[in-house]
Structures are given as structure tokens and as C-alpha cells.
Chains A and B, each alone.
Chain A
Amino acid sequence: MPKITYIDSSGNKKIIEVSKGLSVMEGAVQNNVPGIDADCGGGMACATCHVYVKENWFNKLQKAEDGEQDMIDMAFEPKKNSRLSCQIIVTDELDGLVVNTPTKQI
């Protein structure tokens, strides 16, 4: 199973094996990784599964669609490398993906 690394704002790292087809958000929520709230449950209707993705990985992801960008506008401290983790679907290519969670989601 692909391994996803979640790093919180104080640098604590959790490496989780996430089944292909699940989202990076689901991988976090199902394994009690803190820092991802996912209030709307993956509907791209809130911005509480917001993560930062380092450049080397950011460019490998499918581009965010407009709806996701619109929601990121409403995230806490969005940056250039912001994504909603509910929209990143885990594949073999993403084995080793590292995401950083913001200091808070709301």
C-alpha cells in the first residue's frame, strides 16, 4: 500500500499506509491523524482538510479544479502549494507523498 507522510505544524510526523483509491483526507481521518478536520466529509464544501504539498510532490498531483481553488480561498492561511486533501486520491505514483497540515483548520 502507498505510504503517505503527514507532518503537523510542529513537525510531528506520521507515516500511514493508505489504500489506493482513498483520498489523503480519508487516510488521515480513518487513522486518527490530527490536523485534518474534514467537516464536510469530502464534499469540497468546506476547507478543513487543507494541506500544504511541497513543490516536488505538488507538481506530480492532478491540478486542482476551480471548485477546489474556490474553497482554498476560504482556508486558513492558504499558500501557493495549498490543496484540499479530500481531492488528492492515493495511487501507486503517490507512494511516499508528504503533506504538511496547517497550524489550524478553522
Chain B
Amino acid sequence: MIKTDVLIIGAGPAGLFAIHQLGIKGLNCHVVDNLDKVGGQCIELYPDKPIYDIPAIPACTGKELTNNLLKQIEPFKTNFYLNERVQQVTKENSEWKIKTNKNKIFITPNIIIAGGVGSFEPRKLSVKSAEKYENHNIFYSVNDKNKFKGKKVTIFGGGDSALDWTLELSKIANVTLIHRRDEFRGAPHTLNEIKKLEKEGKLAIKTKYQIDSIEGDKDIKSIIIKNDKEKTVKISTDYILGFFGLIMQLGPIAEWGLNMNKKTITVNTENFETNKKGIFAIGDICSYPGKERLILSGFHEAALASVECFKRAKPNEKYRFQFTTSSKEIQERLGYKPK
């Protein structure tokens, strides 16, 4: 069990800046995120795309923004729990008890939900019978590649994951790569290598095809793929790997008794608290009249929520507004020696 001043759900830009705002006020926090890395949508959806509306930064990519935010919170040595999802939130006396899918328990007076549009989950094959074989013959990520040794593996997708695994598994397995169009969005040099291997007969590529059906009983025996001219091809296969990117799903957040507006959490604009005392929502996941889904809005929301978090975590101390330029206390917390 971990006791903390604040638990932050989501390590995107809003969550990361919240760490800073809490840190300079002397509060500690822990952060849980379902992705395997920090940065949220910035890192998952547009790491290399420039963002042009971060105040005072004319242009920076999602990755640069994330790295700068991480640099800014370095002094606080925050604990991140990645690949982990908050499952349950319950009231424990005057505090909140949070349980993750890895059975970690946090006790805290404050929760800041900075969950974007929910947690990222792999998009799955659209054919119904795919569910039956999931984690048996069908996978959306690779944990142990040796499982595929000497097997017939069909890989779906056109991005880096699909290309990287096609290349990697072609060394040990009989691989067919299937993509719905001729163009691949993965790295060109990987694609060139794959095309070279195809010419040498070491793997097969089928483009403009999509899955139509799966045949098998206990195990998959073969799949039928179809192109846009309704032409079908049957491919004998032992395993299917699907790399269709990630989708965002709200997940368990919907069950915590918070007032929702479609897929967003309703908050007040004074401190971004939800209908539950001590639970805050900031960034893309919150909504209020006039809300704009910009990163800079998330920063503002983080700053104001952190004030209320302070009052709840330290009820016997008075909150004082301070400037970082003049507060020795803040400068010390940030690791700068006052002159």
C-alpha cells in the first residue's frame, strides 16, 4: 500500500505538468499510466508531428514536448507505474483508495484524472470469431517470439510494428504480411528489406487484402482474405498477429460515479474538481462550458487543481501563492541554489 498526497492517472502532457505544479507546492505524487511509456497521445499518436501552439515555443514535436516536460519535473523524482491501469476507486474514510490491475493499492486524499480520451488498447481484428482465438492463436503484441518458430504466421498491418515483426519473424517462421493498401507507413528501409526478402522467396506480401474469415476448430487452420474486387485467397496459418494501432477507450473511469458528458468528465472551472470531493479531471478528459481541447488548457487546469490538492493534503497549512522567480522555497524544491 502506497500513501501519497496525490495520485495522477495518465502521464500525458497534462499529467506531467501536474507533477510540476504539485511538486513546487511541496506535494508528492505517484503516476499510473496504461501505456508502456510516458507522454500520452503526444508520444503515441504524433511523436514527430510539430505542435505550434505551446506558449512561447513556436514549434516542437510531441516527443520534444514530452522530453522537456520530463526535464522540468526531474527534481521531483516521481514514481511512474507504466503498463498499469487504475481499476477501482473507492472511498476509504476521508481518503480515496485506488486499486490497479496489478493489485497495487494507493491511499490518497487527491486523485487527478489526466486520462486523455481514456486508455490505449490495441485495435483488434473485426471478424467475430477472432475473439475465440485471442491470446491462443491471435495476438496483438509479441511477448515471446520463440512461440512462432517454424510456424506459419500471418501478420496484418502497414505500420512499423507490422513491418518490424515481419522482418524479425521471417528469420524463424513462415511469414505472410497482409495490408489493406499498397502503401505502407512503416520505415522505408524496413520495407525495402522486406521487399528484398519477398523477391528471394523468404516471405510473402499480400496487399489490398483484408481478413474475411477464420477457419479452424480448437486451433486456427487457415484464414480467408479478400480484396476490394471481392477476390478471395485462402492462407494456411497457425498464428495471426494484428497490428492495427491503438484505440482509446474510457475503460473503468466510467464506473467511478463521476458526472460524465459523453466520454468526458464534468468539472467546475475553479479547481477542476469533479462531483466527488478530491477527484479532479484535467486535460482532454474534462469538460466545462467553453472547454478547448488544447495542451495549454491542460496546463492551466493542472495549476488550479494543484492548489485544491494542497489544501486537501495539508489542511493545517495555509496555501500561499508564490512566484518561481522570487520564492526561495520553490527554487530549493527545484534544486536551484538561491543566490
Q: A residues engaging B (CB < 8 A)?
A: 37, 39-41, 43, 45-48, 66, 69-70, 73-74, 76-80, 106
- If A45-B41, A80-B228 touch, whether A73 touches B249 (CB-CB below 8 Å) is no
Tell me, rounded to whole Å, the shortest Cβ–Cβ distance linking B46 to chain A: 6
The segment out of B29-37, B95-103, B163-171, B240-248 that lies at the interface is B240-248
Encode contact with A along B212-246: 1 for CB under 8 Å, 0 otherwise. Answer: 00000000000000001000000000000000111
Contacts of A48 in B (CB 8 A): 247
- Whether the Cβ atoms of A106 and B159 lie closer than 8 Å is no
Tell me, rounded to whole Å, the shortest Cβ–Cβ distance linking A100 to chain B: 16
B292, closest chain A residue (CB):
A41
Q: B residues engaging A (CB < 8 A)?
A: 41, 45-46, 117, 123, 126, 157-159, 179-181, 183, 185, 210, 228, 244-249, 263, 284, 293
Nearest first, the 10 A-B pairs at minimum CB distance are A74-B245, A45-B45, A70-B185, A80-B228, A39-B117, A106-B247, A41-B293, A77-B126, A73-B158, A74-B244
Tell me, rounded to whole Å, the shortest Cβ–Cβ distance linking B76 to chain A: 29
Tell me, rounded to whole Å, the shortest Cβ–Cβ distance linking B216 to chain A: 21
- Whether the Cβ atoms of A39 and B244 lie closer than 8 Å is no
Tell me, rounded to whole Å, the shortest Cβ–Cβ distance linking B205 to chain A: 15
Contacts of B249 in A (CB 8 A): 106
Residues of B contacting A: mostly = loop
Task: List the count of A-B residue pairs having beta carbons below 8 Å apart.
Answer: 55
CA distance A48 to B293 in the complex (A): 16
- If A39-B117, A73-B157 touch, whether A78 touches B180 (CB-CB below 8 Å) is yes
- Whether the Cβ atoms of A74 and B126 lie closer than 8 Å is no
Tell me, rounded to whole Å, the shortest Cβ–Cβ distance linking B187 to chain A: 13
- Whether the Cβ atoms of A66 and B248 lie closer than 8 Å is no
Contacts of B284 in A (CB 8 A): 41
Tell me, rounded to whole Å, the shortest Cβ–Cβ distance linking A101 to chain B: 15
CA distance A74 to B210 in the complex (A): 12
Q: List 16 A-B contacts (CB under 8 A).
A: A39-B248, A40-B41, A40-B117, A41-B284, A43-B46, A45-B41, A46-B45, A46-B248, A47-B245, A69-B181, A69-B185, A73-B181, A73-B185, A73-B245, A78-B210, A106-B249
CA distance A73 to B126 in the complex (A): 13
Tell me, rounded to whole Å, the shortest Cβ–Cβ distance linking A67 to chain B: 9
Contacts of B123 in A (CB 8 A): 74, 76, 106
- Whether the Cβ atoms of A45 and B46 lie closer than 8 Å is yes
Contacts of A41 in B (CB 8 A): 284, 293
